Amino acid sequence: MSRPPRPTSSSRSTCSGGVFDWEPALRRLDELNARVEDPTLWDRPDAAQALTRDRARLAASIDAVKGLERDLADALGYAEMADEEGDEASLEEARAQLRGIKERAGRSELEALLSGEADGNDAFMEINSGAGGTESCDWAGMLLRMYSRWANAHGMEVDFLEETAGDQAGIKSVTLQIKGANAYGWLKSEAGVHRLVRISPFDAAAKRHTSFASVWVYPVVDDTIVIDINPSDVRTDTYRASGSGGQHVNKTDSAVRLTHIPTGIAVACQAGRSQHQNRDEAWKMLRARLYEAELQRREAAAQAMQDSKTDIGWGHQIRSYVLQPYQMVKDLRTEVETSDTAGVLDGDLDAFMGAALAQRVGATRDA
């Protein structure tokens, strides 16, 4: 069996904020641990929260590297024993272990690119159907299923904040909160317009149809990020919630929509059981949207001369999903493609996200 070299001590490794020197990283963790023990730390709560967050991420990155090295050494030792004994079944098990370790290492390498200031945060995601009626609503529903499965496969939690069903099938719009490590960092590259080509299940003539849906992703803003909003700049509208809920949810104006008049940014929430709950959640979403808009403005300025600039807007098509006359999903930014359309629609998106993330980081460094 062909074996990779045994792990050795390295002066460089990776962490959630980028490539780092191993020994300095260990010293930095010791320093952060000492600062956490300082009883005066919480005299400045904002700074304390930022420090503890940095400490947790660095510790997790160091533990991940140590875990990979430990598991690799164990797998290689197991493979050597199986090889000496001529145990083919055990050799195949060792190969499977090594493949799993390689996948984990690849993901850790990609996570090292998540260096944005909000990449570690949870994410809000909005999916909206485009023109085309039932076809586009059904496509938006397929995207909802795809992202829900991706999130579940990565141990993330999906909460529904607002949903408007299509007239016959699918959804007109949905707003989700996706909770998990680096949720925004991974999902931010999914923002844009997604195009589907297929034989319509709603067309009796079995004609090929093209449908569009847009995805918008923005970070959940934590308490360490201050976003000042003038209340007089925000219009509040209430309306009757749709969908399942408590016995009153469809009978009272419990749903809330906030519109930031200077920017035109609007958010809505109807998941809560009262107007008060929905108003509080909508304000959190509005703060997050305005913060994300500022992040996008900064990124656009940094990448103004880059062809790979990733604007977020209804007219920016990022990926094409073709089910007829052939099977192909292709990312129009990175040229990554696959014929495994069923796998992609079941949430296998890591290859697309990883390529877009690497391209995004590379463009920012070149700018």
Ramachandran angles phi, psi of 32, nearest 5°: -65, -40
Collapsing DSSP to helix, strand or coil, 220 comes out as coil
Tally the domains of the chain.
2
Closest by Cα among 360, 364, 124 to 222: 124
Q: Which domain holds residue 24?
A: 12-111
Q: What is the pLDDT of residue 361?
A: 66
Poorest-pLDDT segment among 32-46, 150-164, 239-253, 289-303 = 239-253
Q: Which structure tokens are listed for 362?
A: 């590379």
Is 117 among the domain residues?
no
345 and 206 share one domain: yes
Residues 6+ away with beta carbon under 8 Å from 36: 51, 52, 55
Poorest-pLDDT segment among 91-95, 199-203, 261-265 = 199-203
Q: What is the pLDDT of residue 296?
A: 75
151 and 240 share one domain: yes
139 and 77 share one domain: no
Cα–Cα distance measured from residue 287 to residue 227, given in angstroms and rounded to the nearest whole number: 6
DSSP string, 60-126: HHHHHHHHHHHHHHHHHHHHHHHHHHT-HHHHHHHHHHHHHHHHHHHHHHHHTT--STTTTS-EEEE
Cα–Cα distance measured from residue 156 to residue 196, given in angstroms and rounded to the nearest whole number: 26
Collapsing DSSP to helix, strand or coil, 13 comes out as strand
Closest by Cα among 146, 126, 125 to 196: 146
Is 89 among the domain residues?
yes
pLDDT at 129 over 90: yes
Collapsing DSSP to helix, strand or coil, 160 comes out as strand
Contact indicator for 306, 366 with CB cutoff of 8 Å: yes
Residue type present at position 126: E
Is 61 among the domain residues?
yes
Residues 6+ away with beta carbon under 8 Å from 294: none
Cα–Cα distance measured from residue 48 to residue 36, given in angstroms and rounded to the nearest whole number: 8
Mean pLDDT comparison of 199-208, 224-233, 298-307, highest-scoring range: 199-208
Is 6 among the domain residues?
no
Last residue of a domain, one of 111, 146, 170: 111
Last residue of a domain, one of 82, 111, 140: 111
Q: In this predicted model, what pLDDT tens digit does every residue of 306-354 receive, in sequence order? A: 333 333 334 578 999 999 989 999 999 999 999 999 999 999 999 999 8
Q: What is the pLDDT of residue 14?
A: 39
| Beta bridge partner(s), residue 268 | 257
217 and 326 share one domain: yes
97 and 131 share one domain: no
Mean of all residue pLDDT scores within the chain: 81
pLDDT at 72 over 70: yes
Last residue of a domain, one of 111, 142, 175: 111
Q: How far is CA 142 from CA 134, 169, 172, 212, in A?
A: 12, 11, 12, 11
